[in-house]
Structure 1
Amino acid sequence: MLSATALRASAPATLATKHLLLTSGTRIVCCGLLHGARARKFTSSTNPFFLATTPKANQERSLKAFRERSFPHPVYTEAQMNDIKIAHRKAKTWGDWVALAAVRVMRKCFDMATGYRHDSEIASGKKTPYGTNAFHMTPEKWLARFIFLESIAGVPGMAAGMIRHLHSLRRLKRDNAWIETLLEEAYNERLHLLTFLHYRQPGLFMRTMILGAQGVFFNLFFLSYLVSPRTCHRFVGYIEEEAVITYTRAIADIENGRIPEWENLLAPDIAIKYFGLKPEANMLQLLRVIRADEAKHREVNHTLANLSQGEDPNPYALIYERDKPHPTKGLDFMKPEGWEKGEIDGEVVEEYMKPGKEWKTGEKPVGAAPTARAA
């Protein structure tokens, strides 16, 4: 009997050797150990960029060859992941309304491309996704949505981090620790994408869509961030709200038995090592931890949108007293709608986020202000 690790390691090679070439535009993939036999359409292009195949085991370097990741992932408890709920922050300013409108337009286009049906009652909490009549999709459509979603979700953090990095260099000033959190968010979204690519490789159509979407979205977001970083962070917060809804509905489909193909589908090694999952972790547990990540991005970006973009330090990089609720990298104190400026560690934010206020290295003022300078 193969162990979970051996089964997971042998899956890519098993899948790669079971391709039967039919017509010039179609292949049948016998998904063997993981998926069961089912048909998928592929391109017949000889360009490896457009080929839709499962990666061969010998094409990827063993994870053991790499040192510890620069952005280690916090380990979430079952209770913390169970507490993740669908939530929405009401728009209060013109910037909020612009961000929300942009997200709604993007979502409609995205829904059409992936065959997804948005349910406003589920999004507002009036209806549960566990209902017997709830709309659900096939595993292929879910994976297409996940892959497209994560290929776009990794853009904002990198673009914003790059802009703030260059801004810090140009003005010869500290960035107050925003850059690392933004880059870590982009890194996390890319790991989500790499995880899902172990289950399905997109064909020509989706790769073309991703190529075009990334080119358009990156440039629009880049220019928008130069004009209004606050609106951009609110925009990302609203996008992450939609991501939490998407993963919640996928989780409900698995738990309701609507996707039997995923009930015993093992998580790939890259996810096991990055998320800190157990070796026997399956697709359901994988989606639960990814949903928790999206919920955290939702909180982080709504929080950053509530702060002064050029003056306030990143509250997720500060040091706090343990017995007080405060922003954290994990799920210890979650605020789905983001932390307001005055809520962060009581009155500390009002005192230590004023323009020109310098932090003193080695000293800890009353109220648990930061004990060291942040880059």
Structure 2
Amino acid sequence: MQSANATINGKEPDVIHQIPEDLFYLHHPKPVRHEILESKTPLDSKALENIDISPDLHRQPVTWSDKIAFYTVRILRIPTDWFFKKKYIHRAVMLETVAAVPGMVGATIRHLRSLRKLQHDGGWIDHLLHEAENERMHLMTWMRISQPNWWERSLITLVQGGFYNMFFMLYLISPRTAHRVVGYLEEEAIVSYNSFLKEIDNGNLENSKNVPDIAIDYWNLDKNTATLRDVVLAVRADEATHRDTNHHFADRILVGHEDLREDIKRAFEDHDKTKKMAGLTNEAPEKWKWSK
């Protein structure tokens, strides 16, 4: 076994200064909402409130798969409400620990399936990875705001490990149910963030202006006016996107039409409004010409 001081041609490698060229091209996480991504100016409270998220939107469970997903999520909310009560920032940390898992699990499984079958995945992997990254940014933001102690960090590790393995197995068994679970989890997340906002608006929680730089940079918030409430509004808007996306993914699996490419191309060609609502750019038609 080589020691930590292994040498190359008799010299210690200069790891710090000999960085491969590819690593200089840093990837900066991007928001999922086109209203945020395309804004030319920093967003204030009014702009965030004007984002249409349909906060009361609910997908009625129809199939047995839907009902299993729905009642599983409702049952999981009971101990969460009991444990956190009105500790909304700590609840958000735990919520985002779980929410950051499904996108990565789904992307991993679909990536491996694409390799096994030697065919395109239909355009899902990028979206799922983007979802996972977005939820991770939520967690990084709340971690900086809440500064969890060792006990809370231990609980986060335990919950994340358990949920990852359970969701991985669920996705292998029934991807449709897995995406429906995420859709309902996001519905509950919106309910939680609505309650969070009410507590701030009622004066029960301080609307702190101590907003971390990571949140200001990621959501393009106005650094001079950004508050805790703005962060909650931005996160809630993201959760609405994931709610709609995962319910849509579950529906596509149900009808056996998983490939997104032709449908997005058609939307681009036929509906200007759809293009705007989807936050698509003029480059999209070319990107969706990949062969299977």
- Please indicate the TM-score interval, normalised by the length of the shorter structure: 0.7 to 0.9
The answer to whether the aligner puts 1:230 opposite 2:176 as a matched pair is: yes
The answer to whether the aligner puts 1:206 opposite 2:141 as a matched pair is: no
- How far residue 313 of structure 1 moved from its aligned partner, in angstroms, is 1.7
**CA offsets, 1:141-176, max 9 Å, x none?**
111101000011000110011000011111111101
Counterpart residue number, 2:215: 271
| Unpaired runs of at least 5, structure 2 | 1-23, 37-46
Counterpart residue number, 2:84: 114
Change over 3 Å in CA distance of 1:269–1:154 after alignment to 2: same
The answer to whether the aligner puts 1:69 opposite 2:69 as a matched pair is: no
Q: Which has the higher helix share?
A: 2
Alignment of 1:160-239 (within 5 A): 160-239=106-185
How many residues matched? 249
Alignment of 1:345-356 (within 5 A): none
Change over 3 Å in CA distance of 1:253–1:374 after alignment to 2: farther
In structure 1, C-alpha distance between the alignment counterparts of 2:52 and 2:276, rounded to whole Å:
19
Counterpart residue number, 1:99: 69
2:238 to 277, 293, 314: 293
Counterpart residue number, 1:240: 186
Change over 3 Å in CA distance of 1:317–1:187 after alignment to 2: farther
1:279 match: secondary structure: coil
- How far residue 277 of structure 1 moved from its aligned partner, in angstroms, is 1.2
Structure ranking higher on relative contact order (CA contacts 8 Å, 6+ apart): 2
Report if aligned partners of 1:161, 1:182 keep a CA contact under 8 Å in 2.
yes
| Unpaired runs of at least 5, structure 1 | 1-64, 116-136, 332-360, 363-369
**CA offsets, 1:319-372, max 9 Å, x none?**
3244343695559xxxxxxxxxxxxxxxxxxxxxxxxxxxxx97xxxxxxx862
Counterpart residue number, 1:21: none
Change over 3 Å in CA distance of 1:193–1:79 after alignment to 2: closer
Alignment of 1:132-151 (within 5 A): 137=86, 141-151=87-97
- How far residue 312 of structure 1 moved from its aligned partner, in angstroms, is 2.0
The answer to whether the aligner puts 1:152 opposite 2:69 as a matched pair is: no
- How far residue 84 of structure 1 moved from its aligned partner, in angstroms, is 3.7
What is the TM-score of this pair, normalised by structure 1? 0.61
Letter in 2 for 1:277: L
**CA offsets, 1:33-73, max 9 Å, x none?**
xxxxxxxxxxxxxxxxxxxxxxxxxxxxxxxx984515454
Letter in 2 for 1:303: H
- How far residue 289 of structure 1 moved from its aligned partner, in angstroms, is 0.9
Change over 3 Å in CA distance of 1:215–1:265 after alignment to 2: same
In structure 1, C-alpha distance between the alignment counterparts of 2:70 and 2:57, rounded to whole Å:
14
Change over 3 Å in CA distance of 1:238–1:322 after alignment to 2: same
